[in-house]
Chains A and B, each alone.
Chain A
Amino acid sequence: MNQSFLDVLWLARMQILQGLGMTLLISALAIVVGTFVGVFVGLALTYGATPLRWLARIYTDFIRGTPVLVLILASYYILGTVGVHLDAFQAGVLALAVFCSSHIGEIVRGALQTIHRGQTEAAKAIGLTFSQTFLYVLMPQAARQAMPSWVNTAAEIVKASTLLSVIGVAELLLTNQQIIARTFMSLPFYFSCGFLYFLINFGIERFGKYVERRLAISTN
């Protein structure tokens, strides 16, 4: 037990890297799928015909009102009882993606509603179809509006991925807990683990700022 933290860290480096890789993979999958689905949820919330809009509204309110941990446990344990058998990784990604999509849906709705009605009318007037109007006129403007909130949600997903440790997915937190159980070095490993989460979210924030700059509209 005379080993220093750095020695242990070095010995456990592959395990930690694997945990980090797992966290990155889960988060990336959940954010990408969640964003993609969320855009459609947002469209349904904003422009959907009444039944579709209500369906989207129930979906977002229900999911947003449910703790993420409950979503994770539900997709791991409950889906199995109705014949959908997912392993812990699949169930975890599904739960986080669903959670992400409901938040992105609300963000997209909010962003679309800030765009002046005249934009849609001008696009229609030159003969663009609805999907063309969305793609070329509304989405670029909405994306810029939504970027800061999107960064927040993405960071939430990364943090929520720690909850997958509960169903046994060997992501970054669970990996560190396993090392701590072996070495009893709780403080330095929790600290270094926290630092890695900070780095991931810092990266997301920088990416968000970069996209925001790219989408910035010149006014002078």
Chain B
Amino acid sequence: MTQLLSIKGLHKSYGKTEVLKGVDCDMQQGDVVCIIGSSGSGKTTMLRCINMLEDFDAGTIELDGQTIGYETRGGQRHRRNEREIAQQRALTGMVFQQFNLFPHMTALDNVTLGLVKVKKMERAAAVELAEHWLDRVGLLARKGHYPGQLSGGQQQRVAIARAIAMTPKLMLFDEVTSALDPELVNEVLQVIKDLAREGMTMLLVTHEMRFAYEVATRVIFMNGGRIGEEGDPKKMFHSPTTERLGEFLKSSGFS
């Protein structure tokens, strides 16, 4: 097992509100870590710091041997320039709650854009790779469709293909089924399960307790900007050691 991600003492405030109050987290290659917790506990913010969609105030994030977002020069902490940050972002792939596909591009072009512009692949090779991943999420037949012509579940599967085609070291999933109609949730979760089974390293913020229970190698329970409890989902869900997690699981309908 190789260490892939190491977060130490992560702090983040919005104005006077401290959202992350010192979070530590390590991930090995192949880990599937689910972050659970009530809204406002800092789950999504933690995820967004890893690819610098949010700046953070203190602490370090080390991913695949690189210190993300900031560097220390002469004892001072400096934000890396935009070009470096853009390159570091390619280490991770992110899937969003609202899909965020590019509406003016076909499913295929949504996937090839990053391959051609960031990975500098030849168009033909990019198309081949994009078609491979669209096939994997079961949407090769829809490659010429625009996002507006696809259902929410299909859009989210294209978004997964777009992220994973970039061959990231770590996949970040931010409540990816929360905006979907209930009958579309499973087709998306199935795609994620398949990726997990193949050894993709992923960090997921989710409200799907059943999914976390079945798929996660480790669960992190966030509580008030700190890690409240973490460990094996089977143990944690059946015998939570903190009262707060017990309450949360009960209110989430997991028993």
Contact = CB atoms under 8 A, between A and B. Distances in A.
A65 B86 CA distance: 40
Interface string B140-163: 000000101100000000010011
Contacts of B90: 126-127
Contacts of A219: 146, 148-149
Contacts of A141: 103-104
Interface string B158-180: 01001100100000000000000
B87 interface: yes
A136 B117 contact: yes
B247 interface: no
A118 interface: yes
Interface string A98-124: 000000000000000000101101111
A183 interface: no
Counting chain B CB atoms within 10 Å of each CB, the highest count among A116, A118, A215 belongs to: A118
Contacts of B83: 129
In the complex, which of the residues A126, A128, A130, A219 has the most CB atoms of chain B within 10 Å of its own CB atom? A126
Contacts of B104: 140-141, 144, 215, 217
A127 B115 CA distance: 10
Interface stretch (B17-25, B93-101, B189-197, B202-210): B93-101
B149 A125 contact: no
A136 B113 CA distance: 8
Interface residues of A, number: 24
Contacts of A127: 86-87, 89-90, 114, 118, 166
Q: Which of B82, B117, B146 has the most CB of A within 10 A?
A: B117
B213 interface: no
B102 A126 contact: no
A128 B96 contact: no
Interface of A: 116, 118-119, 121-130, 132, 136-137, 140-141, 144, 215, 217-220
B82, B87, B103, B163 pick with most chain A CB within 10 angstroms = B103
Contact of B89 (A116, A118, A125): A125
A116 to B, nearest CB: 8
A217 B118 CA distance: 25
Closest 4 pairs between A and B when the two form their complex, measured CB to CB: A127-B90, A219-B148, A126-B114, A122-B100
Nearest to B103: A217
B53 interface: yes
B223 interface: no
25 contacts: A118-B96, A118-B100, A119-B100, A121-B96, A122-B96, A124-B51, A124-B86, A125-B51, A125-B53, A125-B89, A125-B96, A126-B89, A126-B113, A126-B162, A127-B89, A127-B118, A127-B166, A130-B82, A132-B118, A136-B113, A137-B102, A141-B104, A218-B149, A219-B148, A220-B148
